[in-house]
């Protein structure tokens, strides 16, 4: 028995040593040096196109015949998006979790706190929480009355989701309208049933008029979700990267250009694709089990974990199969913490994890910095399409 145990242990140590050696000898991928023109051409050829600058172009890209975008409908959707009266306790709106500071109209949960004169929040937080991120910056989302998601999930950004094909962390929701309806109903979000929502809307003369102008059949639960959908589709954040694609070579730094080249050459664009850099597919995470050995520690704890971080909340994606909707990378540097349960605080660590566990690369510190520099070029302000009416 002792001999068998010895040989088993020897085999395990040998296998472990081999894998660890592989992890550390894998060469860093060498990326070609591209001219600005060639890099731009390469990005465009991979579908990494600029966001629309005009309302007409936006409509061309995101409009849906089952719920056409109209200015009346969008205006109604905006009112509904910021209205706390549409939650059970009348304290929560869509914007509470999907927070962005647009003309100070919306102050999500944390921004409301910052607005109080006696706030003790640090100056650092006061600045960063006012970023146009479309998230609440909490580790775990909190719905009406502070109810937590049963799986302790992190809030995903609302910005640029009009270009997505899949919604929620599992990717099982196929439209903004469907997700809006789900958010109204969920007890860990707005906690409202359709009948109660309609009653509250009909109590408002303003809403009654706006619904009639936007929809022939007036107030209804479905029409409320449709209006919100059209408004959310206008939440688009153009960035320096878009100006680079449109011909402005000075819009992004040389470091960011190398980061873009890395992003494409490493294969990141394989999943984070499309105009929004994500939201187009559902993928397994982590994809490469062996890559956990990159992060091995003396107690080899990482060998026994399904994720390269503690999985608070126990969420395992679609069908419990480690299948996740690929996050949108637009404004990602403003949406920390990262991953489905907000387990990773820093963007550099998130990039490192993805390189190792998804594409099997051991990036250099310089390559990580370059990719982060590129991701910062995706930071943008919400386009004011209202001016184009």
In order, the DSSP letters of 264-305 are HHHTGGGTS-TTTTS-S-EEESS--GGGGGGG--TT-GGGG-
- CATH number for region 55-232: 1.10.760.10
Confidence at residue 114, expressed as pLDDT on a 0 to 100 scale: 45
Question: The dihedral of CA 21, 24, 25, 29: what is its sign?
Answer: positive
Confidence at residue 301, expressed as pLDDT on a 0 to 100 scale: 41
Confidence at residue 18, expressed as pLDDT on a 0 to 100 scale: 45
In the chain, residues under CATH classification 1.10.760.10 are: 30-51+237-382, 55-232
Could you give the CA distance from residue 23 to residue 294 in angstroms, rounded to a whole number? 6
Superfamily of domain 30-51+237-382: Cytochrome c-like domain (1.10.760.10)
Per-residue b/e over 33-53, b at no fewer than 16 CB within 10 Å? ebeeeebbebbeeeebebbbb
Confidence at residue 290, expressed as pLDDT on a 0 to 100 scale: 44
Q: Closest Cα to residue 196, out of 221, 214, 179?
A: 221
190, 166 contact by CB (below 8 A): no
Confidence at residue 3, expressed as pLDDT on a 0 to 100 scale: 55
User: Which residue in this structure is represented by tokens 């920390």?
Assistant: 336
User: Which residue in this structure is represented by tokens 């990773």?
Assistant: 344
**pLDDT tens series, the chain, 389 aa:** 555 555 455 554 544 454 444 444 444 567 889 999 999 999 999 999 999 999 999 999 999 999 999 999 999 999 999 999 999 999 999 999 998 865 544 444 444 544 444 444 444 444 444 567 899 888 998 899 999 999 999 999 999 999 999 999 999 999 999 999 999 999 999 999 999 999 999 999 999 999 999 999 999 999 999 999 999 999 999 999 999 999 999 999 999 999 999 999 999 999 999 999 999 999 999 987 644 444 444 334 444 458 999 999 999 999 999 999 999 999 999 999 999 999 999 999 999 999 999 999 999 999 999 999 999 999 998 999 876 65
Could you give the CA distance from residue 313 to residue 151 in angstroms, rounded to a whole number? 4
Longest dimension (CA), the chain: 84
Angle 367-373-378 (CA atoms, 0-180°, nearest 5)? 130
Confidence at residue 226, expressed as pLDDT on a 0 to 100 scale: 98
Confidence at residue 131, expressed as pLDDT on a 0 to 100 scale: 62
């Amino acid at each position: 028995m002792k001999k068998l145990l010895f040989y088993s242990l020897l085999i395990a140590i040998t296998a472990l040593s081999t894998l660890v050696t592989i992890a550390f000898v894998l060469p860093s991928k060498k990326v070609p040096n591209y001219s600005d023109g060639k890099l731009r051409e390469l990005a465009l050829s991979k579908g990494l196109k600029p966001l629309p600058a005009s309302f007409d172009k936006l409509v061309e890209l995101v409009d849906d015949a089952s719920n056409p975008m109209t200015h009346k409908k969008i205006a109604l959707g905006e009112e509904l998006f910021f209205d706390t009266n549409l939650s059970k306790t009348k304290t929560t709106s869509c914007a509470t979790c999907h927070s962005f500071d647009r003309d100070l109209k919306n102050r999500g949960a944390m921004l409301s706190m910052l607005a109080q004169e006696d706030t003790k929040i640090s100056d650092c937080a006061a600045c960063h929480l006012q970023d146009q991120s479309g998230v609440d910056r909490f580790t775990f989302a909190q719905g009406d009355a502070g109810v937590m998601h049963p799986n302790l999930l992190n809030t995903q950004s609302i910005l640029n989701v009009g270009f997505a094909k899949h919604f929620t962390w599992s990717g099982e929701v196929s439209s903004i309208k469907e997700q809006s309806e789900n958010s109204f109903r969920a007890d860990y979000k707005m906690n409202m049933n359709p009948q109660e929502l309609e009653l509250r809307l009909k109590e408002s003369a303003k809403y009654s008029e706006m619904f009639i102008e936007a929809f022939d059949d007036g107030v209804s639960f479905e029409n409320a979700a449709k209006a919100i959908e059209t408004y959310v589709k206008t939440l688009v954040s153009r960035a320096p990267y878009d100006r680079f694609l449109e011909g402005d070579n000075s819009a992004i730094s040389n470091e960011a250009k190398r980061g873009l080249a890395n992003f494409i050459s490493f294969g990141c664009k394989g999943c984070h694709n499309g105009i929004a850099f994500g939201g187009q597919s559902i993928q397994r995470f982590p994809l490469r089990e062996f890559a956990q050995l990159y992060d091995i520690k003396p107690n080899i704890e990482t060998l026994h974990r399904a994720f390269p971080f503690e999985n608070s909340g126990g969420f395992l994606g679609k069908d419990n199969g480690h299948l996740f909707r690929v996050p949108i990378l637009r404004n990602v540097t403003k949406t920390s913490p990262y991953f489905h349960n907000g387990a990773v605080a820093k963007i550099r660590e998130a990039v490192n994890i993805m390189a190792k566990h998804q594409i099997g690369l051991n990036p250099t510190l310089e390559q990580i910095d370059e990719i982060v520099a590129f991701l910062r070029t995706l930071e943008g302000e919400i386009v004011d399409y209202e001016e184009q009416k």
